[in-house]
Amino acid sequence: MKAVHYSYLRNNLKSYLDRVTNDYETLIITHKNGKNVVMIPLDQYNNLMENIHLMSSDLNRAALQKSIQQLEQGFTVIKPLLNIEDLQ
C-alpha cells in the first residue's frame, strides 16, 4: 500500500492510475486536513461491496458458512454441464 499527497497525485495522475489498475496497488491519497482517500481498482471495490452485502445478513452468513463446511468435509457433487442442444 502506497501513500501519496493529493497535489503529487494530481501532477502524476496517469502513472498512479496505471499502477492502481494494472498492478492492483492500493493507493492512499493524503490531504493536509487529514481526510484521506483510498483508491482501488473498480473490480476490487465491487468485490468488497458484494462481500459486505453477502455477510450483512445473519441468515445468509450462516448459509455461507454451512456451505464452506460442507465443501471442506468433502460433501460435493460433480455434475456435467448441460449442452445447449439438450435444452432444445
For 2-12, write each residue's pLDDT tens digit: 999 999 999 99
- The string of pLDDT tens digits covering residues 4-53 is 999 999 999 999 999 999 998 999 999 988 899 999 999 999 999 999 99
Q: Please give the CATH superfamily to which domain 2-40 belongs.
A: YefM-like domain (3.40.1620.10)
Distance CA 54, CA 59 (A): 10
The pLDDT-based confidence of 85 (bands split at 50, 70, 90) is confident
The predicted structure's pLDDT at residue 81? 85
Name, in order, each residue with C-beta under 8 angstroms of 28's C-beta and a sequence gap of 6 or more. Answer: 1, 2, 3, 4, 36, 37, 38, 39
Domain boundaries, the chain: 2-40, 43-72
Residue 79 has pLDDT above 90, yes or no: no
